[in-house]
Amino acid sequence: MIVADRKPIEEIIGYLKDHKNILVLGCNECVTVCEAGGKKEVGVLASALRMHARKEGKEVKIDEVTIERQCDREYLDEIRDSIDQYDAVVSLACGVGVQFTAEQYHSTPVYPGVNTCFMGATEKRGLWTERCQGCGQCILATTGSICPVARCAKRLFNGPCGGSTDGRCEINAEVDCAWQLIIDRLRALDRLDEYEKLCPIKDWSTDRAGGPRKVVREDVQQ
Amino acid sequence: MQYPTNLKIVRVPCTGKVDVIHIMRAFEKGADGVAVIGCLEGECHFNSGNLMARRRVEQAQKILDTIGIGGERARMYNLSSSEGPRFAQYATEITEKIKELGPNPIRISKNKAA
């Protein structure tokens, strides 16, 4: 999922200082799982913003809505009838949601309420780590399902660099050496011969380096 | 056994039921302080509800500090349900503390505006 972290409340207060009718819009998917932008966090943020405004003597109306997700028009349409009463939206969705909401409602300022970080998984509650960087050409089949693009600091494709110590990367002792993990996994799967096969030069044009990307499926387009 | 009368008691089956939003709403509605009173640590009737409550009270304290209400207004207390006099003691303690801190800043602004 997309992992995000809550923005400091002071920063959000700064965005909203000239607004009087605010909608705090949450998302029921990734940001709910990483406890940054779901219904609960929307409630807490809205309450904090209301109290701060009242303390400053300001009259503000702050409403709370959480929709299924903010990256699909059908869910954003649910607020179409009520959006005009607000002069600002704080979207607690990932960067995608914030932008897409703004595209659907281009006359209302949409501010981000979380910092979007990476694509990752929940290792345990309160710990989310990066696993994928969306390079567009998945090679997990040859590396025992461990990604050297996301997890190797040098994004090496054909084995370790030799800088690791005790299975940890030389950049940071808390980071595992991806290639150590790959070799251990291939050994456990009894597929070390995969390691011997050379990975050809990668086509990076499908990575972000090639510019903003799209996926087109003509067979499902209407 | 006597304790201050200005304490409004909201009963919950376990402090584990109390979430950050409940504490926030209490202050939003004008409460000057919130005490979350649960079982002794290690003796929660439902295992670890009181431990979760403690974490949530700490989260709420941080947020209240950030927005200027003051995290010291929210506190967690642990006691056994048989310790009546201790409850009276905690009730008095929090009442004294809140009297020192003064009323909820929200209410001061509201009165000024009125």
| CATH T-level fold of A2-118 | Rossmann fold (3.40.50)
A48 touching B (Cβ < 8 Å): yes
The predicted model gives A21-42 an average pLDDT of 96
Lowest mean pLDDT among A37-46, A156-165, B33-42, B102-111: B102-111
pLDDT-derived band at B77 (thresholds 50, 70, 90) equals very high
CB pairs under 8 A between A and B: 45
pLDDT-derived band at B111 (thresholds 50, 70, 90) equals low
* Closest-CA distance of chain B to residue A27, Å: 18
Q: Which residue of A has its CA nearest to B21?
A: A44
The predicted-structure confidence for A105-151, as pLDDT tens digits, reads as follows 999 999 999 999 999 999 999 999 999 999 999 999 999 999 999 99
Residue B107 confidence (pLDDT) = 87
Interchain contact, A54 vs B112, CB within 8 Å? no
Amino acid occupying residue B107: R
Is the alpha carbon torsion for B11, B13, B14, B17 positive or negative? negative
pLDDT at B112 > cutoff 70: no
User: A46 burial class (0-12, 13-18, 19+ CB within 10 angstroms)?
Assistant: buried
A10 touching B (Cβ < 8 Å): yes
pLDDT at B113 > cutoff 70: no
The predicted model gives B49-55 an average pLDDT of 95
Residue B4 confidence (pLDDT) = 85
The sheet carrying A2-6 orders its strands as A2-6, A114-124, A127-132
Chain B CB contacts of A10 under 8 Å are 66
Chain B CB contacts of A51 under 8 Å are 24, 27-28, 67, 69, 106
Tell me what the pLDDT averaged over chain A comes to: 95
pLDDT-derived band at A213 (thresholds 50, 70, 90) equals very high
- B33/B91 Cα distance (integer angstroms): 11
pLDDT-derived band at B108 (thresholds 50, 70, 90) equals confident
Residue B1 confidence (pLDDT) = 76
| Domain segments of chain B as ranges | 15-113
The predicted model gives A171-187 an average pLDDT of 95
Three-state DSSP state, B17: helix
Chain B CB contacts of A55 under 8 Å are 67-69, 105-106, 109
Residue B110 confidence (pLDDT) = 66
Chain B CB contacts of A41 under 8 Å are none
Chain A CB contacts of B113 under 8 Å are 57
The predicted-structure confidence for A70-115, as pLDDT tens digits, reads as follows 999 999 999 999 999 999 999 999 999 999 999 999 999 999 999 9
Residue B45 confidence (pLDDT) = 86
Q: Where in chain A is the domain with CATH 3.40.50.2300?
A: 2-118
| Site from B17, B19, B24, B69 to mutate, A interface, most A CB atoms within 10 angstroms | B24
Nearest to B69 among A10, A44, A51 (CB): A51
pLDDT at A169 > cutoff 90: yes
Count other Cβ atoms within 10 Å, centred on residue B66: 15
